[in-house]
Chains A and B, each alone.
Chain A
Amino acid sequence: MENKAKKSRLRGFWSGMKINKQVYFLLLPGMAWYVIFAYIPIMGLSLAFKTYKAKLGIFGSPWVGLLNYEYVFRDPAFIASLFRTLWINAGRFICEFPVPILLALAINEVRIGRSKKIIQSIFTFPHFLSWIVVSSIMINVLSHNGLVNSFIRLWGGEAVNFLGTQGYFQPLVYITSIWKTAGWTAIIYMASIAGIDQEQYEAAEIDGASRMQRILHVTLPGIRNTAIVMLILQVGFIMTTGFEQIFNLSNPATIKVAETLDMYIYRVTFQSASDFSFSASISLFKSLINFLLLLGADRLAKLMGGEGLF
């Protein structure tokens, strides 16, 4: 009986494939791309347990077990870059996370009619620029003769070397990041505010809720799920912390405090005598931790009653 059911299910599977033959043709080019440019690199991380020989290629190189990791965890620069990445990201949670929510609430609450659209456009524009462009603009604004220092001098202060001082690097990262992305993220929150049932506001108004109370008890709970999704996504970047930003904002004067995990991988892979299996073992470590944190954050969000990602 059971065998028969299995057989008919299998037959259903094959006939299903036959009927949908053309859909598989549709998938073919795309899946070929995923296999070559996503899955082969993922399998290429097996290099973490090999020693790379250019002649033998990724998959022909000999296995060496955990040898690479012994070197990795003995490198003080690696440990320092790991903790620096986590430290910068902890700051991101505190400094960068709330700004888009506040902006979205402000745009939503203020009654300015049509100018709202213009303000939204201005806020989102920097999101569409590369970090190279944003860093170039920041260098102009923050340099010795730049806009900010000119203001400071106008008020009788001394010019500050914002770009070349190690102590200013981390605030610089947060501020430029907010400048570039807060407006864009605010739009995502606004989309979620727009999805809140209008009746809830009316009911709150009839109950005599003040404007502040409506924000606290209707709007904020309404965007809670979006905020959780954004938090989970940020957890997914906890080991990366914006290579493009830090690579372009740092300079020889600040490189010491700017070497995050990705900067470290870039340096040992492409700037010195490269040992690709060493780099691959760090990449694998990074991707694995990221993956586990992402799943963990998702599970946590669900435990707290949110929707989560998957």
Chain B
Amino acid sequence: MIGTSKTKTLQRRTMRNRFQLMDTILLAILLLWTLVIILPFINVLAASFSTPKEYMDSPLMLFPANPTLENYKTLFQDGRIWTGYRTTLTILVLGVPLNMFLSTSVAYALSRPAYPLQKFFLYAILFTMLFNGGIVPLYLLMLELKLTNKIWSVILAYGVNNFYMIIMRSYFLTIPDSLLESARLDGANEWRILAQIVLPLSMPIIATMILFYSVDRWNEWFNAMIFIRKNNMIPLQLVLRNMVLEASAEKTMMASHSAMAQSTFSTGIKMGAVIVTIAPIMCVFPFLQRYFVKGIMIGAIKA
């Protein structure tokens, strides 16, 4: 009796010890990974608030001793950032409602009980996920529609994201049809049912999708690079690309240390531009976080 209970506690203790060792290792890995993700951001933030002298003297810097706003002043006086913000906000304000209008109407229509050609429409949409024309015919289409160098080319080129649409459809499928049936008997048409019954019942998924589309619009640059060639109409991401990547590409060609030293001050301005570009994403991220696991769970099952 006593013997067995003793061996049991002994067993338990060795097990717990082993668990603790494994937990420590796993925790160390996760902490290391967290640092690898966070440190570059802190470094960028610190560089954007530091003077060139301080940046040169303490390259391992994660916190500037004498923070300065000089870099941000120069950045905003330059004006390109404002152009980028204006263009990106225009694309976002006009584009996201269009995304939502097209996606909700298609997702709702495809979530209705079976009707003729429903499967055909669904497969026609899914086919575009497997096979697409690519950028070349799309560019020629924009040329023929006379949309190049217009903001509408970027807005219209991204209409429905198939993944998001499928997630919305699976959400709409969970709404019991009996709720909609009474409205239908009262003579409401489908658009009205969508707007007055389905949307209010689907607020969590609608909010998520607005955030997802907004982030996509915020990060959009490739279509704009192809369709828009006017410098006063480029979105924020391309402004950042012009300021940081293209300037640095020239710099990597000059390996000499003195050239590096001279151009260091611009590092602060560039990193300021990075911070200004990601700041809005950081602000909406906590809200994104709340829903996205649910979103991808449905997406992962359906995909």
Residues of A participating in the B interface, judged by any CB pair closer than 8 Å: 13, 16-17, 19-20, 22-27, 29-31, 33-34, 36-45, 47, 52, 54, 57-58, 103, 106-107, 109-112, 119-126, 128-130, 132-133, 135-141, 143-147, 149-151, 154, 161, 163-164, 179, 183, 187-188, 190-192, 194-195, 211, 226, 229, 233, 236, 243-244, 248, 251-253, 265-266, 269-270, 276, 279-280, 283, 286-288, 290-291, 294-295, 309-310
Contact = CB atoms under 8 A, between A and B. Distances in A.
Task: Please provide the 9 A-B residue pairs with the shortest distance between their CB atoms, ordered closest to farther.
Answer: A44-B137, A41-B133, A30-B106, A130-B219, A251-B249, A26-B109, A150-B59, A164-B252, A20-B115
Contacts of B144: 57-58
Contacts of A187: 292-293, 296
Interface stretch (B2-10, B65-73, B202-210, B281-289): B281-289
B190 A286 contact: no
Highest count of chain B CB atoms <10 Å: which of A145, A252, A309: A145
Contacts of B34: 119, 122-123
A41 B137 contact: yes
Interface in B174-213: 189-191, 194
Contact of B141 (A33, A40, A109, A283): A40
Highest count of chain B CB atoms <10 Å: which of A26, A40, A111, A269: A26
Interface string B60-104: 100000000000000000000000000000000000000001110
Nearest to A105: B26
26 contacts: A17-B115, A26-B109, A27-B110, A30-B105, A33-B156, A33-B159, A36-B141, A37-B156, A41-B141, A44-B140, A54-B143, A57-B144, A112-B30, A119-B30, A124-B292, A130-B237, A136-B240, A139-B244, A140-B44, A145-B267, A163-B248, A226-B300, A244-B222, A265-B135, A270-B226, A276-B136
Contacts of A124: 289, 292
Interface string B105-116: 110111010011
A308 to B, nearest CB: 11
A103 B26 CA distance: 9
Interface in B214-245: 215, 219, 221-222, 226, 237-238, 240-241, 244-245
A147 B296 contact: no
A128 B137 contact: no
A190 B297 CA distance: 9
B159 A37 contact: yes
Contact of B37 (A123, A211, A309): A123
A211 B21 CA distance: 12
Contacts of A58: 137, 140-141, 144
A147 B60 contact: yes
A41 B134 contact: yes
Given A106-B26, A137-B274, A141-B43, A236 B130 contact: yes
Contacts of B173: none
Contact of A191 (B194, B270, B297): B297
Contact of A121 (B40, B41, B289): B289
Contacts of A20: 112, 115-116
A137 B134 CA distance: 29
B105 A128 contact: no
A276 B135 CA distance: 11
A233 B302 CA distance: 13
B105 A265 contact: no
A229 to B, nearest CB: 6
B60 A151 contact: yes
Contacts of B18: 211
B208 to A, nearest CB: 13
Given A141-B39, A211-B19, 5 more contacts: A17-B116, A41-B141, A58-B144, A132-B221, A147-B39
Contact of B112 (A23, A31, A144): A23
A111 B126 CA distance: 41
B166 interface: no
Contacts of B128: 34, 38-39, 42
Contacts of B55: 145
B181 to A, nearest CB: 14
A27 B219 contact: no
Contact of A287 (B44, B131, B226, B240): B131
Contacts of B288: 128
Contacts of A192: 300
Contact of A276 (B23, B30, B140): B140
B37 to A, nearest CB: 6
B278 A145 contact: no
